[in-house]
Structure 1
Amino acid sequence: MDTLFYAHRGSSHKFSENTRAAYLQAIDDGADGIECDVHLSKDGIVVCHHDPTVDRTSDSTGLVAARTLEELKSLDFTNVVPAAIPEEYGQENEQLLSLAELLGLIDARGVKIGLAVEIKHPSPFGHLLEDGVLKVLQEFNFDPKTGQAGTHGQIFVTLMSFEPESLRYLARTVNKDLLCQLITEVDGEWVEELLSTGQVGRAAVYEVLYRSVAEGIELINAGGAGIIGPGVAWTRANEHLVRQWLDQGLKARIWTVDRPADAVYLTGLGVGQLTSNRPAELRKELELN
């Protein structure tokens, strides 16, 4: 079985996550796919960024949804992984990308590659986020049945979320085989603790993650997603369930796989897609095992 290596937020061990440099490095590393996260900006642009706030990733603070694309681009997103950026990967003020810009970069390279778009919820814009993603994809010739996009159909797009309702919404127009239900384990008491201490924003995010287990399993078992996307730890703890899904013909894309031991375990289990911060290095290490 051929293993596909997806670059988690780009090659994010070399350059800061979800930046132009990390994405281009992933392509140059020969990654089979790129994983990105998306939110809507204040002016309704789909932007590539993981957290609902820019606090951790930039030189500023505040919600992504409270800034326009122009305002977001004025921030410095290069310090998560401090590294000198090669000139061909863009200047510091060119590192945050819209989804359209990312697709344009990939399309211009002309390489055959996957693009896994993680739709981040909760969003203050609700399903306008999904609508925005689909609109951008349509501009790049996205076929909602096959997942092909790009000038020559060389980009294979899949859509992911921890929020089962997001996938149900997308399934109205997108082939369920292209949808990935993400799953992770979160302690429900932790959500309550965040709420009790006034951390409403964080609590809302973790509440979605908490529901991704029971509701996500229900959606998968009902045939609502063709790809399962649990984390490594959850996969190890629920191996019997993952084996059952694989036996049923579902694909698995497991995150975040950076250790060779995890990669060996997962491929032995029959997992065909690994999401890694260091896809090129992991591929080489796996080939040596």
Structure 2
Amino acid sequence: MEIRNLHQPFELDLVEVTDYESQQHKNTFFEMVFVLNGKGTQIINNHRLPYCSDKLFLIFPQDTHSFEVTLPSKFFFIRFNETYLKTQSKEWVQKLEFIFHNHNHSPSCILKTITDKPLVRALVEALIREHVNHQPQQQEVIKQLINTIITIAARNIVQLPLSTSENGKSENALPLLNYIHQNIYEPKMLKAEVLAKHFGISSNYISEYFKAQIGQSLQEYIIDYKLKLIETRLKFTDMQINEIVHELGFSDASHLNRIFKKYKGISPSEYKKSFKN
């Protein structure tokens, strides 16, 4: 299988095809695909789904990907790698992390809000113009447009089905999980009594209710999700351990190191080194 690399922080690509079947491949970078027009089949991780105009797909590193074109199609690709991520603000990286850990990695369009489809189309068309016209401050405008599309994608992810890692959980689990994912950087919002009040459940019953819906305790799930975020930061950013400690509400670096090593078997620094190797 072909492995595709990206040798610059980001890349924009407008592709028009009339009759084409892409060979299955994996990327080492993130990719967003917006369909300007045409029809065919999008295939991600062996899941198949028809595509048409105004669809937006997300493809993550190590996802297998291909597509089959049945009618002349025009695609706009936005590709970016970890180098690009390291130039972005903490808030933007958090949006990407939310997408990464909540998207189901299927070929379904992530735009579930009707009004967001023409909005994303307008942003993509603006990106195409900026990419071609070479106006002053071009790179800065392009980055702002890309980040806006990412933000719109993040808010639509909330309305999508659970990721494959969450399969088998109760339908009532989705609001609970979305609440935790959106408030993971606010420890006070994750206290049992606050969660109980938000969902109108007795504070004495919320822990039992959560475990019945999710299959593990509230604290266990929060730790698991924080560990996923730590892994993402270690892989794709240059954040220092103390920065991660502060952001995710650990008491100190030794607390984070102890928890990470308990569940992952190695320290955060060893994990980062092994990933780079």
TM-score, normalized by the shorter chain, greater than 0.5: no
Q: Which has the higher contact order (CA 8 A, sep 6+)?
A: 1
Question: Which has more radius of gyration?
Answer: 2
Which is richer in helix? 2
Query: Normalising to structure 2: TM-score of the pair?
Result: 0.29
